[in-house]
Structure 1
Amino acid sequence: MKLVLLTHEREVQRPTNTGSLALSAFPQWCRRIMWSRVAPDRELIALINSHRAAVLFPRPKNLFSSDNLSVENTTEQLYLEHIPDTLIILDATWQEARKMMRQSPYLKAADKFALTEQLDSGFTLRRNQIEGGLCTIECIISLLELKSRHQEAEELKQAFGDFQAG
Structure 2
Amino acid sequence: MPHAVSLLRAARLARSTKPFLARGGFKRERCADCRLVPSHCMCALRPSVATRAGVCLLMADIEPLKPTNTGWLIADVVADTFAFGWARTETDPALLTLLGDPQWQPYVVFPGQYAAPERVVRTVQPPASLRGDADKRPLFILLDATWSEARKMFRRSPYLDPLPVLSLEPDQISQYKLRRSGRDDHFCTSEVAALCMNLAGEHVAEQTLEAYLAVFTHHYLHAKNQQPVAWDGPAHRRLRAATEERPVEPAEPVRYA
Q: TM-score range by the shorter chain?
A: 0.7 to 0.9
Task: Give distance in 2, aligned partners of 1:83 and 1:113.
Answer: 8
Task: Give distance in 1, aligned partners of 2:212 and 2:195.
Answer: 15
TM-score (ref. length: structure 2): 0.54
For these two proteins, the number of residue pairs brought into alignment is: 153
Summarize deviations over 1:55-104 as a string: whole Å, max 9, x none. 100111xxxxxxxxxx5xx2111113432611111011111101211222
Task: Give distance in 1, aligned partners of 2:184 and 2:159.
Answer: 27
Larger radius of gyration: 2
Question: Aligned pair 1:147/2:200, yes or no?
Answer: yes
> Structure 1 residues 48, 14: CA separation in 2 closer, same or farther (over 3 Å shift)?
same
> Structure 1 residues 129, 138: CA separation in 2 closer, same or farther (over 3 Å shift)?
farther
Aligned to 2:62: 10
Summarize deviations over 1:33-68 as a string: whole Å, max 9, x none. 1112111123433526979312100111xxxxxxxx
Task: Give distance in 2, aligned partners of 1:49 and 1:105.
Answer: 18
Aligned Cα root-mean-square deviation (Å): 2.2
Give 5+ residue unaligned stretches, structure 1.
61-70
Task: Give distance in 1, aligned partners of 2:101 and 2:121.
Answer: 15
Q: Percent identity?
A: 29
After the TM superposition, list the runs of 4 or more consecutive aligned residues in structure 1 that deviate by more than 4 angstroms.
48-51
Aligned to 1:106: 159
Task: Give distance in 2, aligned partners of 1:87 and 1:163.
Answer: 22
Task: Give distance in 2, aligned partners of 1:118 and 1:94.
Answer: 20
| Conserved 8 A contact 1:48-1:110 | no
Give 5+ residue unaligned stretches, structure 2.
1-52, 126-137, 221-257
Deviation at 1:112, TM superposition (A): 0.8
TM-score (ref. length: structure 1): 0.80
